[in-house]
Amino acid sequence: MFKKCISSLFAIILVATTLHFTTPTASALPPGIPSKSMALSKLNALTVKNEGSMTGYSRDLFPHWSSQGNGCNTRHIVLKRDADSVVDECPVTTGKWYSYYDGITFTSASDINIDHVVPLAEAWRSGASSWTTTKRQSFANDLNGPQLIAVSASSNRSKGDQDPSTWQPPRTGARCAYAKMWVETKSRWGLSLQSTEKTALQTAINACVY
């Protein structure tokens, strides 16, 4: 009986230790993510229309990584916000980051990209082509909503400028929050969406627990 108790205690300690080292302590999520019901409501309020063209598009029309004071730019602020731990002040080069899209942990900022949840090119096709450069700059540096998130460079590259009808995070557990972040961003900025995009978002959000 004593040996059985010791064996059970050891198993509990082993599980707790494993969880301690494999579970990220940071939420790795930006602010302003709506609830399931709110996301569905906002999704249904968005204008559905065919995407515009890429004519005239340039990333330079969306000035990003603006100065945020104290030697920090927008990228540094997101790196600090989304980190489990950060060694540096700005510029941020080392720390510990859990990439929410694919579940990989990194310790070098050079392995991390700051993803625009709604890509700049997608925004252009969805209404931002008519914005002023000042408004596009605000969109590209939006720290108040769920538009920016620190993720692995590889997941950011695989996404490119695709919408949720053709790309969603490879980690299944990230798809609910990703869809809600996408909807909230398009709602905040008055951007339209196409029908296939709406269908994919509805499917992802309906699968959310809350």
Q: How far apart, in whole angstroms, are the C-alpha atoms of residue 67 and residue 73?
A: 4
H/E stretch holding 140: helix 133-140
Q: Phi first, then psi: give them for residue 3, nearest 5 degrees.
A: -65, -35
Which bin fits 86, alpha (ψ -120 to 50), beta or left (φ > 0)?
beta
Return averaged pLDDT per consecutive 10 residues of the chain, 210 residues in all.
41 35 55 97 98 97 96 96 89 94 96 98 98 98 98 98 98 97 98 98 97
**Residue range 142-180, pLDDT digits in tens:** 999 999 999 999 999 999 999 999 999 999 999 999 999
Contacts of 158 (CB under 8 A, 6+ apart): 167, 170
Return the beta strands (E) in 2-49 as ranges: none
Return the beta strands (E) in 109-161 as ranges: 112-116, 148-152
Number of domains in the chain: 1
Q: Which domain does 157 fall in, by range? A: 2-206
Copy the structure tokens of residue 116.
């625009």
